[in-house]
Copies of this chain bind each other. A is one copy, B any other.
Amino acid sequence: MTDFRLDWDRAARTGIHEAVLCESKAVAQVEAIAAHAAGLGRPLLFTRLGPRKAERLSATVRGLLDYDPLSRTAILGDVPPAAGPPRVAIVAAGTSDLRVAREAERTLRFAGEAATLLADVGVAGLWRLMEHVDTLRAHRVVIAVAGMEGALFSVLAGLVPGVVVAVPTSVGYGVGRGGRTALHAALASCASGLAVVNVDNGFGAAHTALRALGTAHDRSPRRAGRMHRA
């Protein structure tokens, strides 16, 4: 028995590539998976790989990875160049939400999609959001990242016509601790049509965006390139 079996056909089936959640894996397990994928010449995305765990990987494996500490992601293999202008915008309500926003951005990038990232546009100073509305309306998908009370989700969904993916974050304290309040605010929003994902799940939000862009359906050249790389 080996400890892991990667699902290399997932992209063909669902348009979503296999990735490795490192949070509850041992350093040795992460290392074995990376070596295995490198041996096959396949790119792979690692998420929730904290700095301390990353440092404990062997120098060989670390040399193969493009590591980003803020988002705690690593990419094995070449990051593909983005084809065309961004179709996804990512909006972070506060500076503290940037780590999750960046996880979404990196996941999109791994799939060959560029993204427009806007930071610190929460609703306590509404003008900060308002001056970006036209920009946001020009994207097919907007990923909104917010903690605390998550009011950003409702305001945004009332202003833009595309897919709005709500990513609640665990930023907050007291009743806001752990992201439950922001999550519930997204689900109970009076502005309908939000696509909600789990707390701090920037990775999943990117995948929801990719599904909405219809990549696997369209067989567009951009996607084809991506497939080739894998």
- A residues near B (Cβ < 8 Å) are 1-5, 7, 9-10, 13-16, 19, 21, 23-25, 29, 48, 93-96, 98, 117-126, 128, 140, 148-151, 153-155, 157-165, 168, 170-201, 203-204, 207-208, 210-212, 214-217
Contact = CB atoms under 8 A, between A and B. Distances in A.
Contacts of A157: 14, 124
A84 to B, nearest CB: 16
Contacts of A197: 187, 194-196
A168 to B, nearest CB: 8
Given A149-B186, A198-B188, A208-B194, A181 B179 contact: no
Given A14-B160, A120-B5, A200 B212 contact: no
A159 B1 contact: no
Given A148-B190, A161-B217, A198 B175 contact: yes
A13 B137 CA distance: 9
A196 B187 contact: yes
Contacts of A93: 190
A204 B193 contact: yes
A109 to B, nearest CB: 15
B171 A176 contact: no
Main secondary structure, interface of A, reads mixed
A149 B190 contact: yes
A99 B93 CA distance: 28
A163 B208 contact: yes
Contact of A13 (B5, B159, B170, B207): B159
Contact of A184 (B175, B191, B201): B175
Contacts of A198: 173-176, 187-188
A149 B94 contact: no
Contacts of A23: 96, 173
Which interface residue of A48, A121, A214, A216 has the most chain B CB atoms within 10 A? A214
Can you list the 4 inter-chain pairs with the closest CB atoms, starting with the nearest? A195-B195, A174-B199, A176-B188, A193-B207
Contacts of A161: 13-16, 211, 215-217
